[in-house]
Structure formats: structure tokens, C-alpha cells
Structure 1
Amino acid sequence: MTTPAPVPVTPSSSSRGALVLFWVLAVAGAAVMFVAWGWMATSWIDEILEEPRARAAGTTVQGTAMVVGGVPLVIAHLLGFTVLVPAARSAGASRGRAFGYAGAAVGVASLIGVLTAQFLMGSQPFVEPVFIP
């Protein structure tokens, strides 16, 4: 008795459309992460530059970068993950794989975003600059 040859399975058009949607969202996520990381870096640099003035006035601005830049950055990561999981599920991925694909896509988009923001700023944005008076 011979076994029949496997029949290639082609995904349905709705599954292909969902897969395209997942990748479009993942690529768009890289642009969103660039903006979020750039905002975080800008708020970090602003905090560093404003701290001497604040101390001269008897106050401090320490921690404002985490509120102004860090909270939107975390929200961008969570929003990207919550958008990509259903997109991966509709593309045919199981629940566990959808979480993995969404996490990997958000991680790669975040890495692309932070490296692009760092490159365009011309320095390492999260290293405190040395000021020589």
C-alpha cells in the first residue's frame, strides 16, 4: 500500500490578507517606535539640561523624563502588542504563537526605533553629556 502524496495547502485569501495586515502593522510599528524612542530621548536630554536651572531655583526636575517620555514609550509598546496579537490570530496563528509573533515584532520594531533615533540624534541619547564650564 502506498501513501498518497501530501497535498499542498494554500492559505485562504482572508488568511493572506490578515498576514499582510500583520506585516503592515509590524512595519508601521517601527515608525511609531522611532517617534516614541525619539520623544523619550528628547525628554531625557531636556531633563539633563534643565536640572542645573531647577537646582539653582531650589527644586528638581529629576524623573520628569520618565513621566513625559517613558509613559508614552510603554504605552506604545503595549498598544503595538495588543494590536498585533489579534492580527496574528486572524492570520491563523495559535494563541501561543500569536503572542510570540507579536512580541517578536514589537521587540524588533523597538530595536529599530531606538537605533534609528540614536543615529539621527548623532549621539547616544541616554548617556549624560559632560559639560565643561
Structure 2
Amino acid sequence: MNQVTIETQLQNLVKRRDELRRLNEQSIALNQLLRRLSENLEIDHLAKEMVSFLSEQFGIQYYVIFRRKSNGNFTFYHSNAEIGVSHESVEMLQNFSMAGSNDNLHSAVCNRKRYIYFKDIKRSAKSESEINVMKTFPIRTLLIFP
């Protein structure tokens, strides 16, 4: 009985060590990203660096980037997620805008100034505009940065 407990504790310690290593690697990657972002504050550079980071750290292959305007509203910026969707859906996405109100997740993230990450999400959202995008595109992962 005592041997089982020691083995279990050892397994738990190994898991915890591996988790700490993973967190350390993520922290290093985030610090490197922040340094690269501060070198050039042009929106195109920022978007390129974010896409590279998301791909490396989260394994996100296809993405849609919205940017927050000075009035708080969100508008389409860039995407590579047009594969396998209709031309009308792509146009809908490119013409998409969302009010910066309290009824959408994007605004909540920006107000909290902390990112959220959902993997294998259900097709639901808070605001009608978010729901329309989720219905049109096969979104499985949601990562929102402020």
C-alpha cells in the first residue's frame, strides 16, 4: 500500500514538473513576442507577429483577426479562413462589424485586458453578430486577445 502511494506521488510530481516546463516555455515565448511587438507598432507587423505566435503556441492553422477601432467597435482586419466557405460567407465576414458593447465576448475581453482561450467550443456566443459568424464559419477554437 505504501509503495503504491509513493509511486502515485512520484507520477504526480513528474506531471507537475512537465506542466511547469510547459508553462515556462509559454512564458518565454510570450516575452519574445512582446519584445518583437514593441519593436514596431504598425498594425500589419502586429498582426503578422500575432498570427505567427498563435500558430506556434496554440497550433491554430486558420484565423480571423478583428481589430478594435477608437470608438470601441470591432471590424474585420484579416483572415486566412476562407477555405471551404462560400464567396458570400467570405464577403459577410469582410463586411462584418460588431458594436463595442457589453453584450459581446470581444468587448468583455478588451475591458478585462486578459485573453480567453476556448478549445472545442460549442456553437454559441453572446451577441447576435458573434452568433452569425459562428454559424457561417466552422470555428472550433476561440482565442481573443485584448
Task: Give the shorter-chain TM-score range.
Answer: 0.3 to 0.5
The higher-RCO structure (CA 8 Å, 6+ apart) is 1
Return the structure number with greater strand share.
2
Structure showing greater Rg: 1
Q: TM-score, normalised by structure 2?
A: 0.30
Return the structure number with greater helix share.
1
Q: TM-score, normalised by structure 1?
A: 0.33
